[in-house]
Amino acid sequence: MSTPLSLSFLACALDVAQRAADAAEAIIRTRYRSRGFSVDIKVDATPVTEADREAEAAIKRVLRETFPNHAFYGEEEGREGTGDFLWLIDPIDGTKAFVRGYPMFSTQIALMHAGELVLGVSAAGEYGERAWAVRDGGAFLRRNGSDDEPLRIAQMRDFGAHTAISTGNLKSLAASPARWSALADLVRRVGRIRGYGDFLHYHLLARGAIDLVIESDLNVLDIAALVVIVREAGGVFTDLDGRDINLDTRSALAGNATLHAQALAAFSV
């Protein structure tokens, strides 16, 4: 268990993270709307653009003004520095969407303290949403300039006709016949199955619009901020084996406590 952080520190860190997200969004908006970028392919076969690199640099610049001794783990530049405080940054989560010209991408900024995720900002400017949370401070959403709304996960008690689940990045799950069969069983039981992906299904989950998210083949930078948001909205967020989220996490299972437990039991085969 990490040393408790004061609410005043978390409030300060959240304000700085919000300003960092603003700086990133200004760069991303200009590049996206002008289509002014080229696309390179990284070693892992995923795309990267000037907007990714410029936005990550802008985020770090803002964070460093207040927290010069904190460490960073960015999607484009990797790990920098050491210490109990580690900022996790994905400047454009959903670069493929950004490149193809549809607005299902976001900027993800999270703070980890002594291995525990304590703050998250999920900024999807072109989609018109921003969600955020700090540990023990609740989760909130702003949509298209509206007033901030508190987030609260739905309390469905069982999978059934009124339950909706969303999936993403299922290649490794599909490679396991037992787990693929378990997913098929859930699909047969629920009222709606969707694949919103990226930030969107976690925003929907946190505000009670869907009930469970299942993903594999991801990076912790994709979800770190969203973990804090979902948990502060009353949800449970682990990997598909029920383990806490850490820097090596590669899958996600998120929902309210009851549905999460039922899904986890189904996948524990």
| Predicted TM-score (pTM) of this structure | 0.96
What are all long-range contacts of 35-40, with beta carbons under 8 Å and residues at least 24 apart?
Answer: 35/101, 39/99
Q: Are 223 and 245 in contact (CB under 8 A)?
A: yes
The share of the chain scoring above pLDDT 90, in percent, equals 90
Two structure tokens written together for 204: 């929907």
pLDDT for residue 2 is more than 70: no
Q: What is the pLDDT of residue 44?
A: 84
pLDDT tens string 111-158: 999 999 999 999 999 999 999 999 999 999 999 878 899 999 999 999
Cα 27–chain centre separation: 20
Phi/psi of residue 6, each to 5°?
-70, 155
In order of their start, the domains of the chain are: 7-150 (3.30.540.10), 164-267 (3.40.190.80)
Two structure tokens written together for 102: 């549809």
